[in-house]
Amino acid sequence: MWRDAGARAMRFAAVEEFAVDRVAFRWRARFPVAGPVAIRVVDEYAAGRGRLEARIFGVPVMRQAGRATVVGEALRYLAELPWVPHAMAHNPALEWHELGDHSVEVACRAGAARPAVTIEFDAAGDIVRAGCAARPRLVGKSAVPTPWGGDYGDYRVLGGMRMPARAEVYWELAGGRFVYWRSSLTAADAAP
């Protein structure tokens, strides 16, 4: 993960849990600093509330909440549906609209907002991209609507489900694409 273009990459390990029957997720990550010292991050959305919080020694050092965070976290859930294939079929909160032969829009309700993501498929039917034209991006203390997306690839069977094992997420900025998150999925579990 990178905080800024040209910055040094920050290593992390994370676990993410998704709801299948509603729009909800929780991502817990550990960013090592030195020895046993680490920044612990929780990024989540549930019941119309979004939260992003970082702590060191249990003390909050960063918090985001509010309407922009709610919309941003709901968009994250929608864009990460390739990692929750069974939610695509079983989540009644998702609203689907076909856009073309290789793309659909998926949306949900998040309070008064209706966040939506465009999902693109390749000729084999695999999801290769998800994104939107205006996800809130924190610039200073303001949330700026910014084109945002993610690319998926390296499909494998993990936990009995076929899903992408590689992804990168980016902002489309005036100076070009800024990839701020790149990962490799190592395991998945379809726990009840």
- Report how far residue 9's alpha carbon sits from residue 182's, in angstroms, rounded to the nearest whole number: 10
Q: With respect to residue 114, please indicate whether it lies within any of the assigned structural domains.
A: yes
pLDDT of residue 155: 95
In DSSP terms, 137 is beta-bridged to 144
Q: How far is CA 18 from CA 47, 175, 188, in A?
A: 13, 34, 11
pLDDT of residue 192: 58
Q: With respect to residue 189, please indicate whether it lies within any of the assigned structural domains.
A: no
Q: With respect to residue 2, please indicate whether it lies within any of the assigned structural domains.
A: no
Q: Report the mean per-residue pLDDT for the chain.
A: 93
* pLDDT of 15 strictly over 80: yes
Structural domain span for residue 118? 13-184
Q: With respect to residue 33, please indicate whether it lies within any of the assigned structural domains.
A: yes
* Encoded amino acid at 52, one letter: L
Domain count, the chain: 1
Q: With respect to residue 72, please indicate whether it lies within any of the assigned structural domains.
A: yes
* pLDDT of 3 strictly over 90: no
More confident: 189 or 105: 105
Q: With respect to residue 7, please indicate whether it lies within any of the assigned structural domains.
A: no
Q: What is the pLDDT of residues 37-80, one digit of tens each?
A: 999 999 999 999 999 999 999 999 999 889 999 999 999 999 99
DSSP labels for 52-108? EEEEETTEEEEEE-SHHHHHHHHHHHHHTGGG-HHHHHH-TT-EEEEEETTEEEEE-
Q: With respect to residue 124, please indicate whether it lies within any of the assigned structural domains.
A: yes
pTM of the entire predicted model = 0.93
Q: b/e per residue, 141-164, with b = 16+ CB within 10 A?
A: eebeebebbbbbeebeebeeeebb
Q: With respect to residue 5, please indicate whether it lies within any of the assigned structural domains.
A: no
- Report how far residue 84's alpha carbon sits from residue 161's, in angstroms, rounded to the nearest whole number: 9
**C-beta separation of 25 from 80 below 8 A:** yes
pLDDT of residue 28: 96
Q: What is the pLDDT of residues 124-160, one digit of tens each?
A: 999 999 999 999 998 888 999 999 999 999 999 998 8
